[in-house]
C-alpha cells in the first residue's frame, strides 16, 4: 500500500530536456562514493553487439590498445565450467584522465582509491540469445583466500573483508578468486574499465536517452532531472549512474537506475545506427578499448565472434538482477557494516547461471512473431496495482463509468468494479479527486487519463476518485518505473527503457 507523502509539484509531460546542473540541497552527510560498474556492462554490450555488424576489416587492430592483465595466473581448484560465457566486469575509481573542467562540472573532485567500486557478473547464454547481469554489492561480506598483498608484499592468511577490498589487496587475480569462491561460477573473461572511458563512450554514441517518472536531484553528484525524457551526455550520464541520494532507496535506487542506463545503451547501440556505421563504430570501439584492461584471451576475434552470434540482440534479450540480501548491515569487527547475502537464495541464483537458465520469469503470451502494435506503456512513479480507484460517471452517456473502470483495471489499477453516477451529470473534463497525502498515486492515475484535472480533497483517504467527463477517449497504458519480478527481483531491458 502506498504510504502518505507530502505533495510535490506535478510532473511535467514527458518531453526531451537537457539535464541541468545543480540541484536541491541534500541533507545527508558525507561524500558520495561513485559507482562505476555500469559502464563495464555498457562497454561489453557495445563491443559484443557491434562487432558482427562491421566485420573483420574494422575490428582489425582495435585490441592493440587494450592493457593486458593475467587474472587467472596459477589459479587452482576453480569451479567447474558451466554452459555459456561468464565475464567479470570491474569498475575502478580512476579519475586521472578527467579534465579539471569536467571534475568541477560533474562533482568528481577528491583522490581516487585503488579499489573496485562495483563488481558485476555477466552471463551470456550458450545460444547467445540472452545476457544476465548480476550486481555484486561492493560492501558484500567476503572471505579472502590466502594471498600476498599486492601493494605491501606482505603474506596474508584467509580473512574477512568487504568485497571491494579484494582488488586493493590482490588486484584482478584476487578479485577473480574471491568472486569464484563466493559464487561457484567459473569466470571466462575479465574486463576492467575506469569512468573516463565511460564518459567518452557515451559522447561517442551521441548521448543516451533516459526516462524518469519523478524529479531526480542529488547535490553530491549535481544530478538535476525533471520528470520526462532526457538525452544525457557522458558527464550527465555519469551523474545519473553515480547518484544514490535522490530518494530513500539509496543503493537499491542507484542500482535500478544503472539497470535502466545499461538497457538504454543497448537500445541506442542496436537501434540508433551506431553498429551499422563503420566510422562511428570504430570511433566508439577505439574510445572504449583505449582504456580497458582485459585478460589475454579477450580481443577483437572474441568480440567479432560474439557480435556475429548476437546480431539480433535487443533490450528484451538482457535481464538484470542483484544478489539477494539477507542482512544489509552485518557488523564485522574491524571492518564495520557489511552486506551479508541470503545464502540459500544466492546459491539458487548462481546455480541458474551455471545451468544457463534465464533469471526472469517467462512472459505470458510472448510468442507471436509479429505482435499487434500497441501504444507504449508510460513509466510512472507508483505501480497502478497499488492504487485503489473508484470511478463515477459525470455525464449522461450510458455505461461510461463502466468502460472507464474496465479500461483502468486493464492497465493494472485496483478499481472497485462498482462504478457509480456522479453528483453532477454534465462534467466536461474528467476529474481526479485525491487526498493530498497520496498525490503520487493521483499523478499516476492522471498519466493514464491525459487531459484530466487533478483536484486535491483533504481527508478523502487512499482511494482515488475518477469522475469521467465528456472529454474521455481512452486510458493510456502505464507501468511501474521499477517493475522487479520473480524470485530474484529481475527486470528485462525492455521493461526499463523509454517507450516500452
**Segment 397-405 mean pLDDT:** 96
The more confidently predicted of residues 292 and 225 is 225
Residues 488, 484: Cα–Cα separation, whole Å: 8
The more confidently predicted of residues 487 and 163 is 163
pLDDT of 399 strictly over 90:
yes
DSSP conformation letters of 158-226: SEEEETTHHHHHHHHHHHHHHHHHHH-----EEEEEEHHHHHHHHHHTT-EEEEESS-EEETTTTEEE-
The more confidently predicted of residues 150 and 335 is 335
- Label residue 121 exposed, middle or buried (CB < 10 Å: 0-12, 13-18, 19+): buried
pLDDT of 91 strictly over 70:
yes
User: For position 55, what pLDDT does the model report?
Assistant: 52
Q: Quick check: 191 and 40 in contact, CB under 8 A?
A: yes
The more confidently predicted of residues 71 and 61 is 71
- The share of the chain scoring above pLDDT 90, in percent, equals 36
- The share of the chain scoring above pLDDT 70, in percent, equals 73
- Exposure of 423 in the CB half-sphere (CA atoms within 13 A): 2
The more confidently predicted of residues 39 and 260 is 260
Residues 224, 216: Cα–Cα separation, whole Å: 6
Written as nine digits, the cell of 146 is 590466502
**Among 181, 119, 118, which residue's Cα sits nearest to residue 145?**
181
pLDDT of 67 strictly over 90:
no
Q: What are the angstrom distances between the C-alpha of 300 and each of 192, 208, 251?
A: 16, 25, 34
pLDDT of 105 strictly over 80:
yes
Residues 251, 248: Cα–Cα separation, whole Å: 9
Q: Is the dihedral of CA 169, 172, 177, 179 positive or negative?
A: positive
Written as nine digits, the cell of 49 is 553487439
For 289, which DSSP code? H
Range in 53-62, 291-300, 321-330 with the lowest mean pLDDT:
53-62
Counting DSSP H helices and E strands in the chain, the numbers are: 12, 27
**Segment 224-252 mean pLDDT:** 84
User: For position 192, what pLDDT does the model report?
Assistant: 85
- Reported as a single tens digit per residue, the pLDDT across 246-265 is 876 666 677 778 778 888 88
* E-assigned strand segments in 383-463: 388-393, 414-415, 420-421, 431-434, 453-456
- Reported as a single tens digit per residue, the pLDDT across 449-479 is 999 999 999 999 999 999 999 999 999 998 8
**Segment 363-369 mean pLDDT:** 44
Residues 249, 359: Cα–Cα separation, whole Å: 23
**Segment 82-100 mean pLDDT:** 83
Element (DSSP H or E) covering residue 336: strand 336-341
Amino acid at each position: 500500500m502506498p504510504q502518505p507523502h507530502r505533495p510535490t509539484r506535478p510532473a511535467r509531460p514527458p518531453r526531451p530536456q537537457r539535464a541541468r546542473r545543480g540541484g536541491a540541497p541534500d541533507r545527508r552527510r558525507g561524500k558520495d562514493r561513485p559507482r562505476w560498474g555500469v559502464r563495464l556492462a555498457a562497454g561489453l554490450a557495445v563491443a559484443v553487439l557491434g562487432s558482427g555488424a562491421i566485420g573483420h576489416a574494422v575490428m582489425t587492430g582495435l585490441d592493440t590498445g587494450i592493457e593486458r592483465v593475467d587474472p587467472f595466473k596459477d589459479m587452482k581448484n576453480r569451479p567447474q565450467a558451466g554452459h555459456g560465457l561468464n565475464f567479470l566486469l570491474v569498475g575502478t575509481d580512476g579519475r586521472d584522465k578527467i579534465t579539471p573542467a569536467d571534475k568541477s562540472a560533474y562533482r568528481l573532485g577528491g583522490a581516487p582509491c585503488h579499489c573496485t567500486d562495483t563488481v558485476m557478473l555477466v552471463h551470456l547464454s550458450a545460444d547467445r540469445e540472452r545476457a544476465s547481469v548480476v550486481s555484486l554489492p561492493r560492501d558484500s561480506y567476503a572471505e579472502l583466500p590466502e594471498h600476498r598483498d599486492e601493494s605491501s608484499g606482505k603474506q596474508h592468511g584467509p580473512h574477512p573483508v568487504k568485497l571491494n577490498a579484494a582488488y586493493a589487496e590482490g588486484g584482478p587475480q584476487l578479485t577473480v578468486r574471491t568472486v569464484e569462491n563466493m559464487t561457484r561460477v567459473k569466470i571466462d573473461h575479465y574486463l576492467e574499465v575506469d569512468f573516463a572511458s565511460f564518459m567518452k563512450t557515451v559522447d561517442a554514441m551521441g548521448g543516451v536517452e533516459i526516462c524518469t517518472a519523478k524529479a531526480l536531484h542529488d547535490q553530491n553528484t549535481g544530478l538535476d532531472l525533471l520528470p520526462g525524457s532526457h538525452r544525457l551526455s557522458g558527464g550527465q550520464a555519469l551523474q545519473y549512474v553515480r547518484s544514490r541520494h535522490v530518494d530513500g532507496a539509496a543503493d537499491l535506487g542507484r542500482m535500478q537506475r544503472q539497470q535502466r542506463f545499461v538497457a538504454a545503451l543497448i537500445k541506442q547501440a542496436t537501434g540508433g545506427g551506431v553498429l551499422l556505421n563503420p566510422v562511428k563504430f570504430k570511433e566508439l570501439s577505439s574510445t572504449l578499448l583505449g582504456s580497458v584492461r582485459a585478460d589475454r584471451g579477450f580481443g577483437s576475434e572474441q568480440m567479432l565472434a560474439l557480435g556475429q552470434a548476437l546480431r539480433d540482440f535487443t533490450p528484451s534479450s538482457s535481464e538484470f538482477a542483484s544478489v539477494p540480501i539477507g542482512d544489509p548491515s552485518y557488523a564485522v569487527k574491524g571492518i564495520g557494516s557489511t552486506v551479508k547475502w541470503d545464502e540459500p537464495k544466492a546459491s539458487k541464483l548462481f546455480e541458474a547461471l551455471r545451468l544457463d537458465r534465464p533469471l526472469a520469469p517467462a512472459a505470458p503470451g510472448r510468442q507471436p512473431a509479429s505482435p499487434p502494435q500497441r501504444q507504449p506503456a508510460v513509466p510512472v512513479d507508483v505501480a497502478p496495482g497499488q492504487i485503489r480507484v473508484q470511478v463515477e460517471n459525470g455525464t449522461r452517456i450510458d455505461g461510461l463509468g463502466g468502460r472507464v473502470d474496465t479500461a483502468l483495471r486493464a492497465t493494472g489499477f485496483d478499481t472497485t468494479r462498482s462504478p457509480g453516477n456522479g453528483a453532477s451529470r454534465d462534467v466536461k473534463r474528467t476529474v481526479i479527486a485525491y487526498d493530498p497525502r497520496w498525490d503520487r498515486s493521483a499523478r499516476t492515475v492522471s498519466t493514464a487519463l491525459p487531459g484530466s484535472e487533478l483536484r486535491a480533497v483533504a481527508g478523502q483517504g487512499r482511494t482515488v476518485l475518477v469522475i469521467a467527463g465528456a472529454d474521455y477517449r481512452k486510458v493510456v497504458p502505464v507501468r511501474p518505473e521499477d517493475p522487479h519480478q520473480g524470485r530474484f527481483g529481475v527486470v528485462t531491458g525492455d521493461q526499463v527503457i523509454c517507450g516500452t
